[in-house]
């Protein structure tokens, strides 16, 4: 979508978030009409049958049709407001089928939420391959120019469906590719390592991270005794934990979040040659985070912060994009690379040793039409793989191969979850599976078995040349059955140290503050002491500073690993595109509407999303410039930068500008409003605050500041 298209998608600077495809009338409509179509930014799952057959006639929104309300069986109802009773004041009659059907369905509308990753947001999109992986994998999805529809679900891990988006947590990053060779699910996180090395420990780490079972608190947080009790005893969790304590644990947006496959997978090409790979999603907007106070404020004033940000960006035409890349390793017998065990999910291979090769780009360009049917019912599984991609013996991945299928059967009511529209393959399906809960396929024939002659031998077995997915013949060394693990898995600290030393000064400060806050929420003194002891294996300065914050003695020094920092792990120090960044424009009733309208147009032309803040709703003065927020509904957390055209003498404006400065955000202040802004706490003499003569200069003045995400000089100078 071009800049002009994006600008025109929001007429007159209207903020994203319009609830329906047509404006609502003031009075209740009385003329029968068909259901409204989806909004322009929305898309339904593809029109394919439960067996992957494209429908010749698009179904559209087939969940609801016609002008009149009916029962589930299609019978029109005369009213849905009152129950059938024995007289106006009599008891309700059991024979009221519409009442019983309506209430029964309502009673069963909720399905079990996911045990983990319950809180999520999703979007439709497309993946375009550049052909770079075609020599590594025979998968058609990687052929040059191949376009594949995708559905992506982002999520937090620990919280329930009703928890807040901006908690400190790992984020899920799961992508369903509807390839011509069957579904491929790349199910990863925004952190490249995991707390555990073996899938058998998954119940333990989640039980430790979930709310305490006696009080069911705290919700969606790791700042409590059971989590820290576990990760300080089970020290293979140390590397993932320090990533969680970094700014990666509080991303600014799903659009600005890196993704990783975590486990090592295997590629094999048409010649049968294999390679080991690790998957990376690289956001084109860069990897950016909130600051801690900002995350806490957002959790209170807008717990849907990340959901709203993703949906609004897509609606505004600022389609988020990620490049998919792979690190490629020789498929050697020991499956090691320069001393790093590729089967250990608590380890990374620094990008300076093995650069990420970009193999395609994903663009998210449509919002779901129905959250439950798509985002909630989508079912992922790391074993859903097309020809050309295979698993490895990573013990965490091996456990996931069982767990995901078992989870979907429990959560979605049976084995036929792949027949739900969002999960249907876009390739022909002939699986010989029959019956089961929620079976909606129309099966013919009498012989769902092989071999058979009664159904003409159908279905037949494909050869590799006919597109069959062949399991890679991996040799297994002569060994014995054991529960032991490789000695290479025993290093729990060197890569946590590598990560910490790779961060900038301001990022290291945030890590220190996060440990101090989280451990300060623990009750047991012994757990706090154990935690700072673990930190001494990472960095003595980190351990001592956290100990000082907790009022504890410094831990005994430990021998630490010699490591080479990886600059690729830092989020600070580069410049990134500003597309989709949100710009708050502070106005009063005395602001010049024409100048504000010009600024709004310039912001849209620069791929920004401008939001005009006014003293009251409606439009600015007598103009057509819409007020997107009022000072009572606006909060600094939703803006990446602000422009002060004018500022009212309101406590809400003072709070907003104070937070903008404290959270290291850029600001442009009109010269005529500079004195007022200073009174409210935003001085043009501060770093990252620029004074402008006209509003038309604002976008150009803010662009270089937005490109670095934050004005970190403020924090470092404090």
Residues annotated as part of the active site: 117, 189
405 near 423, Cβ under 8 Å? no
Q: CA 254, CA 26: separation in Å to the nearest integer?
A: 36
Per the DSSP assignment, residues forming a β-bridge with 266 are 276, 390
3-state secondary structure 90-110: CCECCCCHHHHHHHHHHHCCC
Torsion-angle region of residue 500: left (phi > 0), alpha (psi -120 to 50) or beta? Answer: alpha
* CA pair distance 687, 697, nearest whole angstrom: 18
Q: What is residue 363's three-state secondary structure?
A: strand
From residue 426, alpha-carbon distances to 128, 179, 182 in Å are 16, 7, 7
Binding residues for heme: 114, 153, 202, 400, 404, 411
Say whether the peptide bond before residue 218 is cis (omega within 30 degrees of 0).
yes
| CB-based contact 400:380 (threshold 8 Å) | no
The tokens of 360 are what? 């395609």
Residue with tokens 């009673």: 107
Q: Which residue has the tokens 């995350």?
A: 295
User: Among candidates 303, 417, 360, which has minimal Cα distance to 150?
Assistant: 360
Q: Which tokens hold the place of 562? A: 């010699």
Residue 105 region by backbone torsions, left for phi larger than 0, else alpha for psi between -120 and 50, else beta = alpha
Query: Quick one: how far is CA 140 from the chain centroid?
Result: 26
Sole residue written with tokens 């007022």: 676
Distance, first Cα to last Cα, the chain: 42
Among 552, 501, 560, 492, which residue's Cα sits nearest to residue 544?
A: 552
């Amino acid at each position: 979508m071009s800049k002009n298209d994006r600008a025109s998608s929001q007429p007159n600077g209207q903020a994203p978030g319009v609830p329906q495809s047509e404006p609502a009338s003031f009075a209740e409509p009385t003329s029968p009409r068909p259901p409204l179509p989806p909004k322009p930014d929305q898309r339904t799952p593809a029109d394919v049958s439960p067996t992957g057959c494209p429908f010749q006639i698009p179904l559209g929104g087939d969940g609801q049709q016609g002008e009149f309300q009916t029962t589930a069986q299609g019978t029109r109802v005369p009213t849905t407001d009152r129950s059938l009773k024995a007289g106006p004041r009599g008891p309700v009659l059991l024979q009221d089928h519409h009442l019983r059907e309506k209430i029964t369905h309502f009673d069963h509308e909720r399905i079990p939420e996911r045990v983990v990753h319950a809180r999520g947001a999703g979007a439709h999109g497309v993946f375009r391959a550049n052909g770079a992986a075609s020599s590594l994998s025979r998968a058609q999805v990687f052929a040059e120019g191949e376009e594949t529809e995708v559905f992506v679900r982002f999520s937090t891990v620990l919280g329930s469906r009703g928890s807040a988006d901006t908690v400190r947590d790992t984020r899920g990053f799961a992508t369903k590719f509807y390839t011509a060779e069957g579904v491929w699910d790349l199910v990863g996180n925004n952190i490249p390592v995991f707390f555990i090395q073996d899938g058998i420990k998954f119940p333990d780490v989640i039980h430790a991270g979930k709310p305490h079972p006696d009080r069911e608190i705290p919700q969606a947080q790791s700042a409590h005794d059971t989590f820290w009790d576990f990760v300080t005893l089970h020290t293979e969790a140390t590397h993932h934990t320090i990533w969680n304590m970094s700014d990666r644990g509080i991303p600014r947006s799903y659009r600005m979040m890196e993704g990783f496959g975590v486990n090592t997978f295997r590629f094999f090409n048409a010649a049968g040659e294999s390679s080991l790979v690790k998957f990376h999603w690289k956001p084109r907007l860069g990897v950016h985070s909130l600051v801690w106070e900002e995350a806490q404020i957002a959790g209170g004033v807008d717990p849907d912060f990340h959901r709203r940000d993703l949906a609004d960006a897509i609606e505004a035409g600022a389609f988020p994009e990620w490049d998919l890349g792979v690190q490629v390793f020789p498929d050697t017998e020991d499956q090691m690379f320069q001393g790093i065990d590729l089967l250990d999910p608590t380890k990374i291979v620094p990008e300076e040793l093995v650069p990420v090769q970009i193999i395609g780009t994903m663009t998210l360009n449509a919002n779901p039409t129905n959250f439950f049917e798509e985002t909630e019912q989508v079912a992922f599984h790391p074993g859903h793989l097309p020809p050309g991609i295979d698993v490895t013996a990573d013990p965490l991945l091996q456990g996931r191969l069982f767990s995901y299928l078992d989870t979907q059967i429990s959560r979605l009511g049976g084995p036929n979850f792949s027949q739900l529209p969002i999960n249907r393959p876009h390739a022909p399906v002939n699986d010989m599976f029959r019956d089961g809960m929620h079976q909606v396929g129309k099966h013919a024939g009498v012989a769902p078995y092989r071999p058979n002659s009664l159904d003409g031998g159908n279905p037949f077995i494909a050869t590799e040349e006919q597109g069959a997915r062949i399991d890679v013949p991996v040799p297994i060394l002569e060994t014995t059955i054991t529960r032991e693990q490789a000695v290479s898995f025993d290093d729990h600290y060197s890569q946590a140290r590598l990560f910490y030393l790779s961060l900038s000064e301001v990022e290291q400060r945030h890590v220190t503050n996060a440990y101090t806050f989280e451990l300060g929420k623990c009750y047991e003194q012994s757990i706090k002491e154990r935690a700072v002891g673990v930190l001494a294996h990472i960095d003595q300065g980190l351990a001592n500073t956290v100990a000082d914050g907790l009022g504890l003695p410094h831990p005994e020094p430990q021998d630490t690993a010699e490591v080479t920092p990886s600059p690729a792990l830092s989020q600070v120090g580069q410049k990134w595109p500003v597309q989709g960044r949100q710009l708050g424009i502070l106005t009063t009733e005395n602001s010049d509407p024409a100048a504000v309208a010009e600024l709004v147009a310039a912001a849209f032309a620069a791929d920004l999303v401008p939001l005009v803040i006014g003293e009251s709703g409606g439009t600015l003065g007598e103009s057509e410039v819409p007020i997107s927020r009022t000072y009572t509904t606006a909060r600094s957390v939703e803006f990446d930068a602000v422009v002060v055209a004018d500022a009212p003498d309101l406590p809400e404006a003072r709070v907003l500008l104070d937070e903008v400065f404290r959270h290291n955000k850029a600001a442009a202040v009109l010269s005529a409003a500079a004195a007022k802004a200073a009174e409210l706490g935003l001085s043009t003499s501060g770093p990252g605050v620029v004074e402008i003569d006209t509003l038309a200069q604002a976008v150009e003045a803010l662009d270089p500041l937005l490109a670095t995400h934050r004005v970190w000089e403020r924090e470092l100078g404090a």
